[in-house]
Amino acid sequence: MSPGLKARVLAAAAAEPSPTRAAVRRRNRLISLVAAASGIGAFVLFAALISGSHLLRLGGEVMPQQHVERPVWLVVTTAGGAGAVAVAALWLALSRGRSMLGRSPRRLLYGSVLIPVSLLAWKLTSSIAFGDAMVAWPDRPGERCLSLSLLVAAGPLLSFLAIRRTTPVQPALNGAVLGFAAGACAWIAVDLWCPVAYVPHVLLGHVLPLFVLAVAGALLGQALLSVRRR
């Protein structure tokens, strides 16, 4: 080992201040608040522009003279279930267990499969109990739900990447799981706003954005979370 190496490393570290654990916790709390505010803000803005500031839509005109309405308990059940999945997704994506290298790739892969599958399964099984919600809505193919999901999830996804900062192992996979977690959070807003449970609509408007966000998360994860020489 070169004689001056230790002195060089210590001097370089001293010249570059780094936050302590307490400072990182404070910063992460602030970023979480920004994430929540950006998601809720995007939802309110979208509702104001598209549906006259209605954050909760129980029903609507399927076609002229046919009105379908969701019971409140169905909204509570679907949004509550989506909330539980979102909490589990956030736990998987943001907590690293007891290792600095995060969760194993196998667990992350299982999570990537389980998040969209459980959200879709919950939405459909809850809606089956209320048959009218499953009917086709010709004028609602799902593009508004798609844009709502992406709009609501964009801020949280960037915030989650900022909280995670770096990961030396599997940055793309970690980024993809962060994308799924952001999508799961947005799913709650979409559940409140959209009364449609018609399967093609749900696949296009509710499930597809999860995968779009996962791909975006993977690309951003590879670019931002990778360990690189400075």
Partner 1 sequence: MERYSKGDEAAFAELYDAIAPRLLGFLRKATRDPFTAEDLMQQTLLHMHRARGSFIAGAPVMPWAFAIARRLLFDNTRRRRVERRLFSDAPADDNRRTYEPTAPAALADELLHVRRLEWRLRQRLDDLPESQRTAYRLLRQEGLSLKGAATVLGTSVTAVKLRAHRAYVALRAVLRDAEEAS
| Phi, psi values for residue 97, rounded to 5° | 70, -140
**Shortest Cβ 218–partner 1 spacing (Å):** 14
Shortest Å distance, C-beta 113 to partner 1: 17
Listed in sequence order, the residues at least 6 apart from 111 whose beta carbon sits closer than 8 Å to its beta carbon are: 89, 92, 93, 103, 177, 180
DSSP state of 201: H
In angstroms, rounded to a whole number, what is the distance separating the alpha carbons of residues 214 and 69?
32
User: CA–CA distance from 59 to each of 11, 22, 28 (Å)?
Assistant: 65, 47, 38
Q: Which is nearer to partner 1, 10 or 128 (CB)?
A: 10
Please identify, using beta-carbon distances, which residue of 21 and 49 lies nearer to partner 1: 21
Kindly tell me which of 27 and 144 has the beta carbon lying closer to partner 1.
27
Among 211, 213, 182, which residue's Cα sits nearest to residue 38?
Answer: 182
CB of 210 to partner 1, least distance (A): 24
Nearer to partner 1, 5 or 49 (CB): 5
- To partner 1, the closest distance from the beta carbon of 17 in angstroms equals 10
Shortest spacing between CB 183 and partner 1, in angstroms: 24
- Between 169 and 219, whose beta carbon lies closer to partner 1? 169
Would you say 188 and 127 are in contact if contact means Cβ atoms under 8 Å apart? no
Shortest distance (Å) from residue 106 CB to partner 1: 6
Asked whether the beta carbons of 226 and 166 are under 8 A apart, the reply is yes
Site residues (CB under 8 A) for partner 1?
1-2, 5-6, 8-10, 12-14, 16, 18-25, 96, 98-101, 104-106, 165-166, 168-170, 226-230
| CB of 139 or CB of 230, closer to partner 1 | 230
State the CB neighbour count (10 A cutoff) for residue 196: 27
* Alpha carbon distance 43, 153 (integer Å): 10
